[in-house]
Amino acid sequence: MRNKKDESFARKRRGNNRWIDGVIVLLFIILVGSVIWIGTNGWSMQKAVDTIRNEADPTADFAEIEKPSDSDSADTTERSEENTSSSDVSSEERLREVEKPLIEEEQEEEAVQEEKSQGKAVPPNSVKPSNPTSYIKGQKLPEEPKLVQGILLVNKQYPLPEDYAPGESEEAREAFNELAASAVTSGINLQAFSTYRSYDYQVTLYNRYVERDGQEAADRYSARPGYSEHQTGLAFDIGEVNHEKHWASNSFGDTEAAKWLAANAHQYGFILRYPEGKEDKTGYMHESWHYRYVGKDKAEHIFKQNITLEEYLGVR
């Protein structure tokens, strides 16, 4: 039989063995866990340690984890300089965009002054360039007519108010009477067969032409309502008495009356409104019979320079 001393020793040894077994199990668990952890980080001990460090640091996403080498630092500096240069370029481009309209206005003013110095008749504050050869889609008729340097401008860009109804210009009629009287001395009997037309009459006339020839063709020789010079009372369609077959016809340009008119009308304040080869400036085909009263001085300048009213006013 065992004595009490032996039993006490045996219990103590079993207790020690259980403690050792617990430590061994704990170490085994730590070892297995470490192996698994390293495996999930690509079997890199350094990466596993960095991961633990990052998880412990709440600002790791914003921290500089690796110090750049000298070459990396140089690259970073170059990229920074490039970005700064790009930013400067963008700023310069934006500044140029802001200044561009001002520069263009200055250049236009310089061009005007240069032409004036050469004796050319160009108003100092011409209207901005437009495209007189086509209508502006959706454009509404204005409340006031367009005046440029005291000249009433009417074309496919600048219409008249619908209620603009001045009637035939008395000044233009007096000038035509002087013109016609002078032509008689050369054996030519001129007559103004169409002058002022109201807005309503132009509606009827234009629609008739569109119905006959189509809108595209009609727009080359007939103005839409509100866009006709005849509504100003300053446009005179001129022909020769007893030669009505040539009125408002291309054949008129070949007559002696038309040739005399083209050479002398400016002396009485009239200009050939739609010259040959100028459709890209006026918006209308050549009409040898359509004259516009602008006054003697302006007509003289326009005639000598062989230009259109649009070119004279700077509407190019």
DSSP string covering 144-202, please?
S-EEETTEEE-SSSS---TT----S-HHHHHHHHHHHHHHHTTT--EEEEE----HHHH
pLDDT band at 38 (very low <50, low <70, confident <90, very high): low
DSSP string covering 169-185, please?
-HHHHHHHHHHHHHHHT
% of the chain with per-residue pLDDT over 70: 62
Lowest mean pLDDT among 82-86, 141-145, 300-304: 82-86
Lowest mean pLDDT among 44-53, 93-102, 114-123, 167-176: 93-102
CB-based burial of residue 156 (10 Å sphere; 0-12 exposed, 13-18 middle, 19+ buried)? buried
pLDDT band at 39 (very low <50, low <70, confident <90, very high): low
Q: Which residues, at least 6 apart from 294, have a Cβ–Cβ distance to it below 8 Å?
A: 151, 234, 269, 270, 271, 302, 309
Q: What is the pLDDT of residue 57?
A: 41
- Residue 29 confidence (pLDDT) above 90: no
* Domain ranges for the chain: 4-49, 121-313
- Residue 64 confidence (pLDDT) above 80: no
pLDDT, average across residues 49-57: 46
Class of domain 121-313: alpha beta
- Give the integer Cα–Cα distance in Å for 266 and 295: 8
- Give the integer Cα–Cα distance in Å for 142 and 227: 11
pLDDT, average across residues 232-258: 97
Residue of 274, 304, 279 lying closest to 289 (CA atoms): 274
289 versus 104: which is more confidently predicted?
Answer: 289
